[in-house]
Amino acid sequence: MTSHTKAHDTQSFYSLSGNWSCTASIANFSGRRVLGSNHGWLTMADPLTDECCLWNPELSQQIPLPPLHNSFLYDRCVLSKPPTEPGCTAAFIRSCGLHLSVCSVGAHDFAELYLKELSNPTLIVAIGAALHGQIYGVIYSPLGYQLVTVRLVDGERVELGWLMSADGSGPWILPRPQPRWAVTVRPSYLIELPGGTGKLLFLVVKMFLPENHAAEENGVGFRVFGVNVERRECVVLDRIDGMTIFVSSCGNGFCRWSGSGGGIKPNCIYYANDEGRFVYVYDLGDRSTTPLLLCPEAKRRGSTNYWIDLPDSP
């Protein structure tokens, strides 16, 4: 989806696999930012009023969430399961990675966790949900990078659970997600594999690169890790054969099989920046980047692209 201006008053929708498109002005988007896309539902917040809701573009159905105070500081949300199912939890993190807000769908308030106040100060750099409703996060602490569970306790308290190593000798420490020569790393993404069992995830890291590093074009590179929660394994992947990953500057990411027809390229990451008309295709094989202009009518400045995670058709 392309939002044409900062006011979000006009939207264009595209299907890469179905080869169709349409443009409309949808009142639900007016003044709102998209912070996540899960199970066909968009999580949206108004930075002026802090009004927050879920909206399904296929069903034109809306579900209210509690007000998200200072919502302009947040950039990601993940749902533990479809919001029409009992016990769905929504977790939001701020772009700084120091603040986590969680609520149950239907609740009146958010439970909040300031990571600076923990005994071991941490920074949450990625968040994602597995098939069976468990929300995971990747945190950075003095010990290194670790995978944690995120739980809402009694609707009032956010609790992080540190995963232990396979032999139980200590915390499970993940490999360093980015090479030391990377200039900076954007917030990362935890993405479940399509048709997964809740135990297999991708950790996708977006990096901004130094000028003298010419391997990747457009100044952006990616690293993908395969994470097996059950076996406590995390390894760098050179290929994701048969699959394609979609990520945006705001919101979470998702993964799809690329053999479903249309123009989706396998072994690639489709991504969008904070602002601009273009989306980009990053090939994990040759590390090349190809721009795509899906909406020539969108403004050069103020336009934003989002991927909408629609469920597979039965």
CB 243, CB 257: distance < 8 Å: yes
In a domain, 179, yes or no: yes
In a domain, 313, yes or no: no
In a domain, 26, yes or no: yes
pTM listed for this prediction: 0.86
- Residues 90, 36: Cα–Cα separation, whole Å: 10
We report the CATH number of the domain holding residue 87 as 2.120.10
Number of structural domains found in the chain: 1
In a domain, 205, yes or no: yes
Radius of gyration of the chain (CA): 19
Over residues 37-95, the pLDDT tens digits come to: 888 898 999 989 999 999 998 888 999 999 999 998 888 899 998 899 999 999 998 88
Phi/psi class of residue 90: alpha, beta or left (left: φ > 0; alpha: ψ in -120 to 50)? beta
Chain Cα centroid distance, residue 28: 21
Over residues 203-261, the pLDDT tens digits come to: 888 777 665 555 455 677 888 999 988 899 999 998 998 899 988 877 678 888 886 55
pLDDT at 101 over 90: yes
What is the extent of the structural domain holding 107? 2-302
98, burial (CB in 10 Å: exposed 0-12, middle 13-18, buried 19+): middle
In a domain, 276, yes or no: yes
pLDDT computed for residue 64 by the predictor: 96
In a domain, 307, yes or no: no
DSSP β-ladder status, 243-247 and 268-272: parallel
pLDDT computed for residue 248 by the predictor: 81
